[in-house]
Structure 1
């Protein structure tokens, strides 16, 4: 089973979600008024769980998801799963940022649900955002592969097949870090794959930077660029020109369009 859930999910309608959310937000505002805004995230999780349970709302804290591929397992934990099917993520930070939204979408994709909520208890008033998607497991597995500029060698083809297998197993659209963790596992582990390389300007070494390596002088990168892709490619070429590498193999997960591109360093001297 590529995605294993702690318990079965109850997929609710948008109307049911908003009816539930109206109740949850009243509880969240009451908590903020009673406790204030300076506790750690776990305190608000515990209190929201307590008050929801008291109000008759079924609550599972730290609901576990397992993304499984062959001998690799990636655990994910939802802060609160309410009424067996509604994702709530709690934060205590200056303001909600894109990585928080991406994290919540990861949970919607993994549970094959469409509606979730982000709540931030640190501001003067509870900050909250809806997070939603129309994508289901079937749609996320409907990918198109584009690889005319891919250098096909034994190690690059291994990478390409690994990426495609993961996408067919888990679906596209997850945060790239989730796929990268799995790729590192299958390519020999993070200690072997994530290595420091020298960055030079002319004959001067500016320092080192960590990047995933396929071999000693072939690197790869995994991105989810959807805008200005040609400009992004130019900057990757500039990076390669100052790195002590022969080639950089770029995998771009642009929604359901999966691009494989190999860039060569013409000035590479082993």
Structure 2
């Protein structure tokens, strides 16, 4: 049975770890040819080897790029088209949260600028060059329509709700991603190019986190759960969705008072 992304060409940034890593594996498992883009090339190469071993029928490659540099983003998109002949899915996932990011009084301008260069300009450039590539995709002769593509941008739950743990540059950058995604969705809707943002909630870390008490499901999310959301947005299952803020947050952004008790469901295992 064909996978949900059978023979589609995908590019994922930040593919060497976390959500990008799990998405790369899941997309390949569902039949996509995948270009794994990361500023840390050895990390991306490690994931690419895993994909090559598990899924020999799909094409995959690792590519080094810093999404904070426009020429790197263009080169990555060009490489995907060179390898796969087209681009169907662009997952602008790479981003940073700088440890020196703080509130309006303490965040330095250089931290603000660095965060917005990577988290906002990087997404803008990813969208820009993906649009140009997707415009060259062939027409679906059966439907008489341009095949377009799906562009997914990683935002965050903090773009929707405020927090008393300040990370102002990061929060503002993710709010920009939401607004940019909505506008691009409207501008390019008639071209068959869909834009959706994915908003992860807090993910599992090694340390105990005081935010756990606020999570309705009683546990942190796993990167693989966000990857499954990205798969849905990448696939034709979401063909009538564009301009959506797709929340994968365990109910956090809908919560006022959280329930008492044990977690309702155990977390899924990673694909790694």
TM range (shorter): under 0.3
By percentage of residues, which structure has more strand?
1
**Higher RCO, Cα 8 Å, sep 6+:** 2
Q: TM-score when scaled to structure 1? A: 0.26
Q: TM-score when scaled to structure 2? A: 0.26
